[in-house]
Amino acid sequence: MPDKAIPLYPFIIGVEATRKEGTTRKQFRDHYETFYVPLLKKLVGKTHPLTWTRRYNLEEGEGPFGVPKLLIGTDADMGWDCYSEMTFADELHCQQFITLMHSDEVEPMLEEERKFTEPEKLRMIVLRRDITIDDSARAER
């Protein structure tokens, strides 16, 4: 049984992105990973998050055999195609990234977003994260 929850990276931004109508999930993911991710990394430079984890919705049949992609709820509840979390070293790092994201320097990235996402559905959310680690997952030292 886990014995405690530990906070990790106090500054996190969650992002929900939705693909443009007529774009398949595969096309969306391929474009995001091939063009958008490298472009963002190039444009933001030193303000790039420490980590940027992206999670994509699956098509039916892409998951483990015999397990439906949606365990609870309906597809209508899934208003996003990619959920990602960006973690930052501290408040200053996070603020620098947010400031840059509101500058003209990232206009090429915004142009790229408009090609494959629904910008009006994009959400960026400041989050707090706590992690519970089970004793069996801890490394022996």
Confidence of residue 102 (pLDDT cuts 50, 70, 90): very high
- Which helix (DSSP H) or strand (DSSP E) does residue 115 occupy? helix 107-116
pLDDT at residue 9, as a whole number: 53
**Phi, psi of 130, rounded to the nearest 5 degrees:** -120, 145
Q: How high is the mean pLDDT of the chain?
A: 85
Contact of 12 with 87, CB cutoff 8 Å:
yes
Integer Cα distance of 40 and 42 in angstroms: 5
pLDDT at residue 131, as a whole number: 77
pLDDT at residue 1, as a whole number: 41
Find the radius of gyration of the CA atoms of the chain. 17
Burial class of 129 by CB neighbour count within 10 A (0 to 12, 13 to 18, 19+): middle
CA trace torsion 64, 56, 91, 101 (10° rounding): 170
Confidence of residue 8 (pLDDT cuts 50, 70, 90): low
Q: What is the tens place of the pLDDT at every residue in 17-71?
A: 999 999 998 999 999 999 999 999 999 999 999 999 999 988 766 767 766 677 7
- Which helix (DSSP H) or strand (DSSP E) does residue 83 occupy? strand 82-88
Residue 137 predicted with pLDDT over 80 = no
**Phi, psi of 82, rounded to the nearest 5 degrees:** -140, 125
DSSP three-state, residue 91: helix
With a pLDDT cut of 70, the percent of the chain lying above it is 84
pLDDT at residue 2, as a whole number: 47
> Domains in the chain and their CATH numbers?
5-134 (3.30.70.100)
Which pTM was predicted?
0.79
